[in-house]
Structure 1
């Protein structure tokens, strides 16, 4: 009779190989890594303010923790406000409104500034040239002074290069502000107001040149008298 022994296939002095250990279940680690990777990509590419500072490279860990706390606090506050509004709506969905007749409202008239496209009145042009330089339409230099007056009256802060033509003429050393006002056309539009205010247009100098203004608190500083 032959007996079988499990150790008969190994000689003396040899050890039996140990069975390979079964691999541990690593799915929680894989899930955690996937969540971290997805969260990092979300923080880097989202347009929501604050998330980008959490995952952007080059930040100190304390700054990342600070932004995590701020972001969590903001989300918690938004959820709290939303739930509070939802609870209020469920408990008392009545909307309270205040009605008032707008026709009885009392408020001040706004300031108005009007700038004409052509700021030279042909009827005032000849009188103004005669006043400053003593020439009339028959004089040879009348056209020269006429162009200068048009340049002054229609100039603004963004188009001052035309003054280069006249920079060496000493006869043009006059009050340019007053010159622009002297040729301004009369503004005949009269606005109305429910409270019956007396509207008066006042010449003023703005970045767009000589204009008319009314009911402005800055008239005392910008008006051309």
Structure 2
């Protein structure tokens, strides 16, 4: 007996190819997509030209979208920090009053040393060696380089001579008033400082023990007044428990009554128009943790004129949320992120001062008398004036070139001092903008009207 067996053979299903799968999946995705115009690209029954048209529009949109994203990325990479204005103003007492540096344009009192006569005696060959040394010293602070034939370096005794012949504070300040406190001794308000202008006098600057590190050689009593900042710092401001009359001084109210008033004068017989063609005073405003440098904005207080200065502080702070960013991304340093060799507080001005001092020493083998330096570094004399000028100009030029090219140049050995500057702005900066108004002053009539004999102040 036999059994019948039946075999059912099914046709083999055809597996769709890769292109068909892609087409089906794309059509399904396009049909369910919420992107405008995208569903037309994969919709069955559409003409090929219509699909190409919508693909073209989508490609153009995608191109511009990617371009905008790329521009946003580049902008964030180059400047990831945005500057915005505070929604509420800061009270005037929360910001220190500016440091005010007064530099007499008379560098040598003619009654003590006649610079003009000494210069022409040198031209005639009749000058004594003592006067020639003095001439070389005064040449360091004149507006032009009158004598470049002196020694390449000089001694610290030259600085003592600058102090001796420069107008003292009592010879330039007749009265000083701070915040309506009349008859305040000027010697209690001002301290003698050494700047590019020579011997100057500064109000409201930090003591040198808080300005400079122990690496700096400090000659005599420049910038030494012994007052403590009592916990103030540029980044943190005044402590909450600080006194009203704290240091650095701050204005309690706006207006002239909360500021500094000075009556400045110079004796006619002491003026020397050869060393400085313009007489009077050069006044610089800066914040208390810096020494004024080359390029610091200044204004002139001319003789026989009243000068009224209205100041507006600009305080820029950085959000604490940016502390985790790399300093080069946020383009600023917090105070703890950058230590300087010569200065205790990091500011861009202090960093530049340190850098130009190092650059000058590399180029000239000495530093200018007013630059921060270590004790073993030589101080440049009048014979190095040309080198000092070249070093300053080269330094400024290279900084500009670096800013334009934004790349470090390694083709010159002397560039190293500039390349290593790394002087980003501080994350907290304080500057002061000044507006001036001036009018003539007939001081003799003013004195007579107040019962003061002007003959007591000859010249």
Q: TM-score, normalised by structure 1?
A: 0.29
Q: Which has the higher helix share?
A: 1
| Structure ID, larger Rg | 1
Q: Which has the higher strand share?
A: 2
Larger RCO, structures 1/2 (Cα 8 Å, 6+ apart): 2
Q: TM-score, normalised by structure 2?
A: 0.15
